[in-house]
Amino acid sequence: MNYKLLISKISGQYKKDLPFAIFSFPESNRLVAFLQKSEQLHTVDNLTENGFVFAPFDYKDSSFFIPE
């Protein structure tokens, strides 16, 4: 994906108030983006589903989740 398309997609997510996450792995030039298609806030309790999890280091309850 080129830079302009990435910025366009992220801007669209932000304007629609939709969850998203962008990251790269260490020593990688590749960006990974998780763009959620709905406003629904997903949670995960057991950390076995594929996607992006927003969890604190002292994880005790459910965390927010963007499904793959």
* Mean per-residue pLDDT, 48-60: 77
Q: Which residue has the higher pLDDT, 68 or 56?
A: 68
The total of structural domains in the chain comes to 1
Q: 3-class DSSP state for residue 6?
A: helix
Residue 2, pLDDT > 80, answer: yes
Torsion-angle region of 47 (φ positive above 0: left; ψ -120 to 50: alpha; else: beta): left
Q: Could you read off the pLDDT of 9-31 as tens digits, one per residue?
A: 999 999 999 999 999 999 998 88
Domain of 21, in residue numbers: 3-67
How many CB atoms sit inside 10 A of residue 54's CB?
Answer: 12
How many C-beta atoms surround the C-beta of residue 6 within 10 A? Answer: 13
pTM for the full model? 0.73
